[in-house]
Amino acid sequence: MVVAEPAIARQQLPKIGLGCGVFSGAYGPISHKDIVGVIRTALSNGVNMVDTSPYYNDSEIKLGKALQELKAEFPRSSYRISTKLGRYGYHKSDFDYSAERVVSSVAESMRRLHTDYLDSVLCHDVEFVDMAQIVDVTLPKLFELKRSGSVRQVGISGYPLDVLLRIAQIQYERGYPIDVCLSYCNFNLHCQRLPDYVPLLRAAGVKTIIAASPLSMGLLHQDAPPDWHPAKPKLKKAVLQCKKLIRLHRPLNSTAHDISLAKIAESFAFSFDSVDLHLIGAKTSAEITCALEAYKQAQSLQLAYGGRYPDDDTQKIYEQIRRILQPFSDYTWPSPPQDA
């Protein structure tokens, strides 16, 4: 008997993963019901990678509980789980990249997520600790776990691209190239630094490059960004100017009346196809649906490569937004911050 493939397997999967940092409450409260709804909507539409971390409060626990509730609809083999280790709090003193903690952290994550293997485990925010600790202790132990089968892919995550690249290069030189490299807030409407690093990371043997946070950790969302957002006041003021521009100038008799800064930001970011995956967060099923619509639109618009909106009203608003944010295209905030 020939068994038909699931619908998800037959269609081309979107290059989108679900970031579960929002389950921590850092972007506002979220209920278990909403989490289940977000995951169900994501998996039903081919978004089959979920990303979490012990640092995100009880995100792993909430994600694991929701996946257990949905296991009849979505068995473990239908999605990939990525989590992290090394960072367990805000301050540098809350980091532990020892070999012993690698083993215990992986075991704890598997317990919380109700799985006997993890598809990816990333060293979380590698810029906070001495690089020698990462390459001489942490990554060798992670590669041991990869050989044992409990971890399928080994990776790194962080904000400063030069730090990520140097670690990838060291690993390549040592014959243990990084499987996954996750960079966040480095390709969006206000920052386009990632394209310069993608070919360098590929040359260093990185198999999967993930661009996280197309909305720059909520800065480009239509709502106000979280109080803790690290961007400097000048950038926040420029983003606020973009939101006011949209409210004031979108014509009611045009398709431009339905736009928002978040939609423009996602359409721009998702058109950058040199990465393997774009990682988004969502508090509601509607946000996942909107992101998927933006992803589909991005493939035709190709804004990151000079593409245009088909209607002039939206294009004019988009061009004004790009001019407002252009001065920040190479701007980054300090990481680690001074108070870490």
Collect all residues with Cβ–Cβ distance below 8 Å to 274 and sequence separation of at least 6.
195, 198, 209
Distance between CA atoms of residues 102 and 86, nearest Å: 7
| Residues 284, 34 contacting (CB under 8 angstroms) | yes
> How many angstroms separate the CA atoms of 235 and 190, rounded?
8
Of 27, 55, 56, 79, the active-site residue reads: 56
Phi then psi for residue 188, to 5 deg, are: -160, -170
* Distance, CA of 233 to CA of 298 (rounded, Å): 29
* Locus of tokens 């978040």: 262
Task: Report the C-alpha gap between 301 and 25 in whole angstroms.
Answer: 33
| 56 among known catalytic residues | yes
> What tokens appear for 307 in the block?
């593409």
Q: Cβ(43)–Cβ(79) under 8 Å?
A: yes
Q: For 250-284, where are the alpha helices, taking DSSP H only? A: 261-270
Give catalytic residue positions: 56
